[in-house]
Structure 1
Amino acid sequence: MWSGPRNLSTAMMYSFAGRGDCAVWDEPFYAAYLKATGIAHPMADQVISAGIADPARVANACLGAIPDGKPLFYQKHMTLHMIAGFDRSFMAGLTNVFLIRHPARVIASYSKKREAPTLADIGFVQQAELFDQVADRLGAAPLVVDSADIRATPRETLGRLCAALGIPFAEGMLRWPAGPKPYDGPWAPHWYNAVHASTGFDEPEGPLPTLPDAYRALSDRALSYYERLAALRL
């Protein structure tokens, strides 16, 4: 599952973990991304020391044996982590789905956790690039699911996604226990406060947030990338 940050991505990871037949991996390339770029992120040192900083090793693990002998493996990938120089050929061995969210909502949420985000930080350009690469290889558009649809009709939207993936829908996808999870990344204390308080998908979102001028300009720059994928959503 390829998304940018603040995209319902952690809730979706919890949802798939709740199936019982699915192992999950929280942001496999985060440590490699931070090590390679030196970007100052909250808890960067802890992320690097706890993760796998060699992108080739991460890619091999993505294609390797599924943990705990599960039949399914949900990998929560951030599009911004796939920087130039990271070999993307491993993606051909995966089923790639793209999770999208309106940029105004992403920016409003992200800026509460890390100030002054850039276009590169929120992952829309990288998401479109990865989408195009997968589409070129498949000869057809890969699956796209919008977080707004999941929140509005979680059972129906997840049911469509499961059907498109060729797996059964499971009731356990709709609820999870509150609090931290053993499969959370080490960055969870900074980023996951809201999802740790949840026990399922939130209610549908209201009107788009009002952004300051600088953030509104950033949202406008990201909007076309979102809209192109949104036109293809389930």
Structure 2
Amino acid sequence: MTSNQARIMIWSPPRSLSTAFARSMSSRCDTKVFWEPYLNCCTFGPNRTLHWAEDIPGVMNEKYTFSYVNELMGEPHPNSPVLFAKCMIEAIIDNFDVVRSDYQHTFLIRHPLKMYRSYEKLSQGVLPIDFKVAFKNIYQELNKFYDHVINVFGQSAPPIIDADDLQENPEGIISKYCEMVGIPYTSNMLKWESIKDPAVLNWEFIDVGVISQNSYSTGLTLSGAFTSTGFGNGVKKTETEYSSDVKKCADYAMPAYERLHRLRIKV
């Protein structure tokens, strides 16, 4: 590690603005971004435990082992004052020990109704994943890893961002986040260029999976984070109706979400 280099990682459930947050960090221009390293291993690598993508041609890569991504994340990268990784918590369920403890771990959460509603839309189109099963305990797992970061990694209480707060007050939330993780805030983090091909970002680990193929990535609703230019206009999107499946999942998740929500960054 180079002197004064910040190494930061953010964990979230799916559909929680994490790609937009990675774009915000990338727009600092001093930051090397690692795209979903552990999720790529357990979805597209030789030891994968998630199998939903196995029928999609060309998305697997045998090099994606935990040792491979951990080694690259551990290199000095002397030209990057900030190293930033974003990943989904489902990648490390029952496998917390694979995670590098020398990164400062932080969290991004989203109200369960909104998260499950967003994934329901996604599962009806591009990704045939049963969210009711795959993500039933996702907020509970976030809580477990939050405690793991404190009790096992020995880090102080990790910063938590709520997606609603981020959309309502991006400058306030991001500037406070930067203060808490020890990097300078810059207004560059509020705006970025719209792009069509994620490869132009030069993020590590985007050479694998559906994001690496335009025929699939353009159909993903995460592509909105690439074509967007910021976090929005400060107005929260609200749904008037939710399916019974979404409501049931959200009700189950609420106690775990509310615990993290109480601990979130407030400005």
TM-score (norm 2): 0.78
Query: CA 1:43–1:162 in structure 2 vs 1: closer, same or farther (change >3 Å)?
Result: farther
2:93 is equivalent to residue 95 of structure 1: no
Shift of 1:52: 4.1
| 1:6-52: CA deviation from partner (whole Å, max 9, x where unpaired) | 11000000000000110101111223212421421488554432x74
Native 8 Å contact 1:124 1:226 kept in 2: yes
Whether 1:198 and 2:228 are equivalent positions in the alignment is yes
CA offsets, 1:154-194, max 9 Å, x none? 11110000111111111110111112332463433143232
Alignment root-mean-square deviation, CA: 2.3
- Partner residue of 1:65? 76
Q: Which amino acid in structure 2 is aligned with residue 187 of structure 1?
A: V
Between Structure 1 and Structure 2, the one with more helix by share is 1
2:36 paired residue among 23, 27, 41: 27
Indicate how the Cα distance of structure 1 residues 164 and 86 shifts in structure 2: closer, same or farther if over 3 A, else same: closer
Q: CA deviation at 1:85?
A: 4.3
Matched pairs, number: 231
Identity %: 26
Partners of 1:7 and 1:100 within 8 A in 2: yes
Counterpart of 2:24 in structure 1 is 15
CA apart distance, 1:135: 1.9
Deviation track 1:106-158 (CA, whole Å, cap 9, x = no partner) reads 11111111243135437322211110101214364211111111100111110
Match of 1:111 in 2: 120
* CA distance in 1: counterparts of 2:60 and 2:95, whole angstroms: 18
Q: Any idea what SS the aligned residue of 1:25 has? A: strand
2:151 to 128, 136, 147: 136
Q: TM-score, normalised by structure 1?
A: 0.88
Consecutive unaligned residues of structure 1, counting only runs of 5 or more, are: none
Partner SS, residue 48 of structure 1:
coil
User: How far is the alpha carbon of 1:62 from its aligned partner?
Assistant: 2.3
Structure 2 unmatched runs, 5+? 1-9, 125-129, 212-216
